[in-house]
């Protein structure tokens, strides 16, 4: 009888346990509306020094249920890339091949800024002297140095995610990244190429509590005739959840990717 009682209690509690996982663990200390939901239109939080606090989990709008918000006009208007002949040829070949040779299909990192365009959230974390950027997909990370250093003159070890420094310009956090290696194949989902002199500028603006815009400028004179601006990337905060582990543990796609 006692066992039945214990079992009954356990069975009744089981669904509670099932729901109480970190997929939906409530974030503490965030503004909420009367119904308990995160108030995404509350003002952007500020750090003790008065700068906007960018921390949180962010997901690109086009991947969320609300869809992509219309882009603002004005200086955020994108300028299409004008490729040098070699780059145009590479780009056209990639499009004709359905981008089958993207190393991402072999679980290689996506590089900057492509990593920020994927259907997985990233988390921004404030730390002394740096802003840490954790990407869920492939568990990639970036450190954006805010300790006043400049970019190195030379990159002795070009890397997949490059070398980043960040500075405030008003309420915009401006991240400059260089030293991205040439194994990074495409800088966006469309398949645009790059060279070793690529410099990426990301302007992060937390519009309000629940929304952030990132405007990306591409400067790569070996690949493009002039610097260009990508369509604005817009993000919505994911409250009450955490990043999940992502290890590319079993990938059978490449053997089936025929392209055309």
Between CA 49 and CA 215 the distance in angstroms is: 24
Structure tokens at 169: 């310009």
Contact between 206 and 186 under an 8 Å Cβ cutoff? The reply is: no
Structure tokens at 172: 């915009």
Residue among 209 and 228 whose Cβ is closer to other proteins = 228
- Residues 181-200: x where in contact with other proteins by CB under 8 A, - otherwise, as a string: -------xxxx---------
Between CA 256 and CA 19 the distance in angstroms is: 38
Least separation, in Å, of the C-beta of 1 and other proteins? 29
Between CA 237 and CA 208 the distance in angstroms is: 10
Pairing of strands 199-208, 211-219: antiparallel
Binder to other proteins among 230, 236, 237, 239 (CB under 8 A)?
230
Query: Is 63 near other proteins (CB under 8 A)?
Result: yes
CA 116 to chain centroid: 3
Binder to other proteins among 6, 7, 9, 23 (CB under 8 A)?
23
- Residues 147-186: x where in contact with other proteins by CB under 8 A, - otherwise, as a string: ----------------------------------------
Residue among 146 and 236 whose Cβ is closer to other proteins = 236
Residue among 173 and 185 whose Cβ is closer to other proteins = 185
Between CA 168 and CA 198 the distance in angstroms is: 22
Q: Give the CA angle between residues 129, 132, 138 to the nearest 5°.
A: 155
Residues that bind other proteins in the complex, under the rule CB under 8 A? 23, 62-63, 65, 67-68, 71, 78, 97-100, 102, 104-105, 107, 113-114, 116-120, 136-137, 188-191, 216, 230-234, 241, 244, 246-251, 253-254, 256-259
């Amino acid at each position: 009888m006692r066992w039945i009682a214990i079992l009954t209690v356990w069975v009744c509690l089981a669904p509670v346990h099932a729901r109480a996982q970190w997929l939906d663990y409530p974030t503490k200390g965030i503004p909420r509306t009367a119904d308990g939901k995160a108030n995404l239109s509350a003002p952007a939080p500020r750090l003790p020094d008065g700068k906007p606090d960018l921390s949180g989990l962010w997901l690109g709008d086009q991947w969320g249920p609300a869809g992509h918000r219309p882009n603002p006009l004005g200086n955020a208007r994108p300028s299409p890339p004008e490729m040098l002949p070699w780059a145009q040829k590479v780009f056209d070949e990639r499009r004709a091949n359905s981008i089958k040779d993207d190393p991402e299909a072999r679980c290689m990192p996506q590089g900057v800024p492509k990593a920020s365009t994927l259907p997985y959230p990233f988390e921004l974390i404030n730390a002394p002297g740096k802003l840490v950027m954790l990407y869920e997909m492939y568990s990639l990370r970036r450190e954006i140095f805010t300790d006043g250093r400049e970019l190195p003159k030379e990159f002795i070890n070009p890397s997949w995610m490059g070398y980043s420094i960040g500075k405030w310009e008003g309420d915009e956090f401006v991240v400059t990244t260089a030293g991205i290696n040439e194994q990074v194949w495409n800088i966006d989902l469309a398949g645009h190429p790059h060279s070793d002199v690529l410099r990426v500028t990301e302007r992060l603006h937390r519009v309000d509590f629940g929304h952030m815009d990132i405007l990306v400028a591409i400067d790569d004179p070996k690949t493009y005739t002039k610097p260009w601006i990508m369509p604005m990337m817009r993000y919505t905060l994911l409250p009450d959840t955490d990043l999940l582990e992502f290890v590319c543990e079993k990938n059978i796609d490449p053997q089936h990717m025929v392209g055309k």
